Amino acid sequence: GAVVSQHPSRVICKSGTSVKIECRSLDFQATTMFWYRQFPKQSLMLMATSNEGSKATYEQGVEKDKFLINHASLTLSTLTVTSAHPEDSSFYICSARASGTGAGSSYNEQFFGPGTRLTVL
Amino acid sequence: KNQVEQSPQSLIILEGKNCTLQCNYTVSPFSNLRWYKQDTGRGPVSLTIMTFSENTKSNGRYTATLDADTKQSSLHITASQLSDSASYICVVSESFQKLVFGTGTRLLVSP
């Protein structure tokens, strides 16, 4: 089946520093990747949609200068939280949508990564 | 406004028992409906995915139903196991890539 990995799984950083989270599709190519944020006991909230080779599309209320997204290849997208503050502490999850006729493509299915727990002190 | 509502918010059942989770949606246009299982501190894992023309789909002990006319779906878990303890999220695909997430049902299976 389609596998999406994230790295790191957990990160603790000081306020004001930047943190980069990687999202990789391991066994399929993903033209589109999505970044979500999830607060405790709440559902996933879409932050942005990134298409390989183009600028990400951010949801309303998400600061694009604070959450930098790069989707440089068909298997890798990165989310950089710049100048992180305690209110940015959350669970960040990426997902990848298969391109072409691969796994899940008939349903336009998204495959989710395991998530990254960010704690900003 | 496109919404997905799930009930109950939380549920406790004894190991071995069955349970049914509900999902009502107002998403339009409708593309497909998915049920995910999310363990604490992990990403969601797909259980079932159904299009407009599919009204039931099974994945092991999980069976999902879809009534596109009433815009309702259910997820039935048979012979629950302790490992079924998780959040179950109903997600409706609004268009080619936009997903609308429900708030989830937190299930606890007690020994």
Mean pLDDT of successive 10-residue segments in chain A (121 residues)? Answer: 91 96 92 92 91 89 94 92 96 86 59 95 95
Pairing mode of beta strands A10-13, A116-120: parallel
At residue A55, the pLDDT reads 87
Q: Which residues of A36-59 are buried (b: 16+ CB within 10 A; e: fewer)?
A: bbbeeeebbbbbbbbbbeeebebe
**CA A4/CA B110 separation, integer angstroms:** 31
Interface with B, mutate which of A45, A110, A117 (most B CBs under 10 A) = A110
> At B108, is the pLDDT very low, low, confident or very high (cuts 50, 70, 90)?
very high
User: Are the beta carbons of A43 and B104 separated by less than 8 Å?
Assistant: yes
pLDDT in tens, B64-102: 999 999 999 999 999 999 999 999 999 998 876 678 999
Q: Is A108 on the interface with B (CB under 8 A)?
A: yes
At residue A45, the pLDDT reads 92
For tokens 């309702």, the residue is: B72
User: Are the beta carbons of A108 and B31 separated by less than 8 Å?
Assistant: yes
Backbone angles phi, psi at A87, to 5 degrees: -70, -10
**CA A72/CA B12 separation, integer angstroms:** 45
Beta strands in B26-69, from DSSP E residues, in sequence order: 32-38, 45-51, 56-59, 62-67
At residue A99, the pLDDT reads 66
**Is B59 buried (19+), middle (13-18) or exposed (0-12) by CB count in 10 A?**
middle
At residue A110, the pLDDT reads 85
Q: Is A93 on the interface with B (CB under 8 A)?
A: yes
At residue A106, the pLDDT reads 54
Q: Closest approach of chain B CAs to the CA of A89, in angstroms?
A: 14
Query: In sequence order, which residues have a C-beta less than 8 Å from that of residue B89 and are 6 or more positions away?
Result: A43, A44, B6, B35, B36, B37, B38, B44, B101, B102, B104
Pinpoint the alpha helices (H) of chain A.
Answer: none
pLDDT in tens, B1-26: 778 999 999 999 999 999 999 999 99
At residue A1, the pLDDT reads 66
The pLDDT of B49-60, averaged and rounded, is 92
- Residues of B numbered 65-84 whose beta carbons fall under 8 angstroms of chain A's beta carbons: which are they? none
User: Are the beta carbons of A43 and B102 separated by less than 8 Å?
Assistant: yes
pLDDT in tens, B31-44: 899 999 999 989 99
For tokens 């049914």, the residue is: B20
